[in-house]
A = this chain, B = another copy of it.
Amino acid sequence: MKVEIIEKMKNIVGVDWVVTELSRMQSYLSDETEHLLKPKANEDCIVVKPSSAQEISGIMKYANQEKIPVVPRGGGTGLCGAAIPTHSSIVMSLERLNQYVELDDKNLMVTVDSGFTLAQLNEELNKQKNLFFPIHPGDEGAQIGGMVAENAGGVSAVKHGIMRNHVKGLEVVLPTGEIVNFGGKLIKDNMGYDMLHMMIGSEGTLGIITKVILKLYAKENHRGTLLISFDTGEDAAAVVPKILQRGITPLAMEYMERYVVEKAAEHLGLTWPAKKGSVDLMFILEETTEDELYAKSEIIVEMCEKHHAVDSMIAETAKEQRNILEIRSNAYTAFKEEIADALDMAVAPASVPDLVRDINTIAKKYNTISPVVGHIGDGNTHNFIMLVNGEKPSYLDEMRQEMYEAAIKYGGTVTAEHGTGKTRKKHMNLQFSDREIEIMKGIKKAFDPNGILNPGTIID
């Protein structure tokens, strides 16, 4: 990296906040993407840690003028390589934008700096008793700005949707350096094109998010977990719409192949409580009153029994609930050392059994297995392509392609919540025509005429 760039950065953010030694930079050149797929970082980078939108504006004006790539970086919890610099870049860590700006309980909204983490947000919100923020991807180290940039999802989407549904306002530094505000403390806003929604999920390619206004909701304090077993995936899937049509919206509805959760339980030294059947549905309910919780739990159990459930249990104690959830959460971890790729497809919820059947057929063809866990309420499956004797399988690309084509066949998407980033960009033509990709390039150019912001992510 050129000396004048380093000097300029030190001028803007202060000498203490510029990292140039590779050894101290390593953790900023990676994210949580699977090892085999992770893009190789360009090591000719510097890490800068601005403390304000004004400093970021200064950096962007300079970078735009000199055409230097800038890669913004949140908590580094991403799964598509979006935060990994593949060009010689200024890596901009947002960790110092870390203020809890304002809790506005009159409007049920909270304003935080983009570098505030989900863990910090939840800690602050727990200090008052009324309000909570519903989105929870796996890792609480995620920064709120990163969660906006990736349009984070998670298990609670059945009831609460995704990040997009709860972001009301953003402060953004444009690639050309201007500081702007999109949206606000507004429930309705139809002026001009919707720049707020354009930013959500744009993965740090259209602007650098510096402040976020989020909608909050009244806490629902009564939580229950149901575990219901079926002989087949079709039986399990069939009951899901019946429950929703009945007006019951669980926080989460998870679909789990038995051998996957049994292995996850073993990994944790626990025992999976269900024995009968081969597929489990886990329902998490969160309700305002205990009466509502019990009434809805009973209805779900009854409906499942009518729909060929072979076993059902209500996790009564907090410990039982925690164990089940922990096992489910460790489905990935238990297999991690054996995984070449973890896919993130989605289809219409009712098509999940079809997709799972296709996944199993494809795996069999390659003489392997592909364990599946799924957020069935939102049609989002995570299935794994396994290593072969600890090595990358020769058929990895081919097999993945076949699985993506299966999702597309059912009107699905290659990535439901993990994002396009640098790893799934090459599959965009499965889902979009050339003209659509050309339009996306035009959108990118409108925001970032010199193509300096996070190059290689989504759009080249």
List A residues at the B interface (Cβ < 8 Å): 104-109, 130-131, 150-151, 153, 157-158, 161-162, 164-165, 174, 176, 178, 180, 184-195, 197-198, 200-202, 218-220, 241, 244-248, 288, 346-351, 375, 377-380, 411-420, 424, 427-428, 431-433, 435-447, 458-459
Contacts and interface: CB of A to CB of B under 8 A. Distances in A.
B428 A244 contact: no
Nearest to A418: B190
A379 B188 contact: yes
Contact of A431 (B191, B198, B244): B191
Nearest to A444: B193
A218 B245 CA distance: 5
Identify which of A186, A248, A413, A417 gathers the most chain B CB atoms within 10 Å of its CB: A186
A307 B272 CA distance: 51
B190 A420 contact: yes
Identify which of A157, A158, A377, A440 gathers the most chain B CB atoms within 10 Å of its CB: A440
24 contacts: A105-B245, A107-B348, A150-B190, A161-B165, A164-B197, A174-B439, A178-B433, A180-B436, A184-B412, A186-B413, A187-B416, A189-B413, A190-B413, A191-B413, A191-B432, A193-B201, A193-B440, A193-B459, A194-B198, A197-B200, A440-B446, A442-B442, A442-B445, A443-B443
A188 B413 CA distance: 8
Contact of A346 (B189, B247, B420, B436): B189
A80 B442 CA distance: 27
Binding site secondary structure of chain A: loop
A53 to B, nearest CB: 14
Contact of A188 (B184, B197, B247, B346): B346
Contact of A244 (B108, B161, B188, B412): B108
Contact of A198 (B198, B347, B427, B428): B198
A348 B442 contact: no
Contacts of A247: 218-220, 288
Given A241-B105, A246-B218, A442-B446, A186 B379 contact: yes
A108 B249 CA distance: 12
B379 A187 contact: yes
A157 B245 CA distance: 21
